[in-house]
């Protein structure tokens, strides 16, 4: 395969998601008004504006393209790995499946990406609370939006966007019947949240709690692999 060069300009100056520009403009206006009142407040407003721009950054990612790999849909820390029943509205049955939960802080990239190649057969939204997204009960009680992706062989992988303590909007740009590829952008959550990934029966996760995941790049599982579930420890 021919090597491709990545320019340093693309690496250092990251693009901004279109949803972010209105917020950045509001933050910048607020910083200007605060600066007119008292210059130290203006500097604080400038810092907040830079944070807002950072929140909506939308970097390109290099996605592994081998069939069967489940790729992280979110940047952040893997906060939970274990069996759980998928949300009822996704129609995946009452049996527990292996779930990998990725928690996104307000400092992480919040663009969400499709975890695997396939066809979106279900998009389901459920209103709810805004508890701390790192809590296990957030998967049941919080506002959420899930997608179910079906592979050609009939197996299914689901990704569920979960609103958090300060998150008040889940955005999903994908619809039922859409053919998707792993790493494809499909939505975001404002501001701080979590994404749960539900794997097919018998598939072991290849990432451990406490590890960092990168949306569109980190492999969460291999549907065709035989490696047992990975463990890890802080060192």
Catalytic residue positions? 193
Task: In whole angstroms, give the CA distance from residue 209 to residue 196.
Answer: 13
CA nearest 188: which of 66, 23, 27? Answer: 23
Task: In whole angstroms, give the CA distance from residue 184 to residue 181.
Answer: 6
The token duo for 185 is 């952008």
The secondary structure of 69-131 as a DSSP string is: EEEPSS-EEEEEEEEEPPPGGG---SS-EEEEEEEE-TTS--EEE--SSEEEEEEEEE--B--
Task: In whole angstroms, give the CA distance from residue 180 to residue 117.
Answer: 6
Helix (H) or strand (E) segment spanning residue 67: none
Helix (H) or strand (E) segment spanning residue 140: helix 138-141
């Amino acid at each position: 395969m021919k090597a491709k060069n990545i320019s340093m300009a693309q690496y250092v100056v990251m693009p901004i998601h279109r949803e972010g520009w209105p917020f950045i403009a509001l933050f910048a206006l607020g910083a200007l008004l605060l600066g007119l009142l008292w210059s130290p407040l203006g500097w604080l407003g400038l810092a907040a504006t830079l944070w807002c721009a950072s929140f909506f950054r939308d970097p390109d990612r290099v996605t592994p393209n081998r069939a069967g790999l489940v790729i992280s849909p979110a940047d952040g820390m893997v906060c939970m790995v274990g069996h759980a029943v998928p949300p009822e509205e996704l129609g995946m049955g009452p049996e527990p499946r292996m779930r990998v939960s990725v928690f996104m802080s307000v400092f992480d990239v919040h663009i969400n990406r499709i975890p695997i190649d396939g066809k979106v057969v279900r998009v389901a939204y459920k209103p709810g609370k805004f508890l701390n997204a790192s809590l296990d009960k957030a998967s049941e009680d919080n506002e959420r939006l899930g997608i179910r992706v079906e592979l050609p062989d009939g197996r299914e992988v689901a990704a569920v966007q979960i609103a958090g303590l300060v998150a008040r909007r889940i955005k999903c740009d994908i619809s039922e019947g859409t053919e998707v590829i792993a790493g494809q952008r499909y939505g975001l959550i404002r501001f701080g949240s979590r994404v749960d990934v539900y794997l097919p029966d018998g598939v072991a996760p290849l990432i451990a709690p406490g590890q960092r995941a990168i949306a569109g790049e980190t492999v969460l599982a291999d549907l065709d692999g035989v490696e047992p579930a990975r463990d890890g420890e802080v060192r």
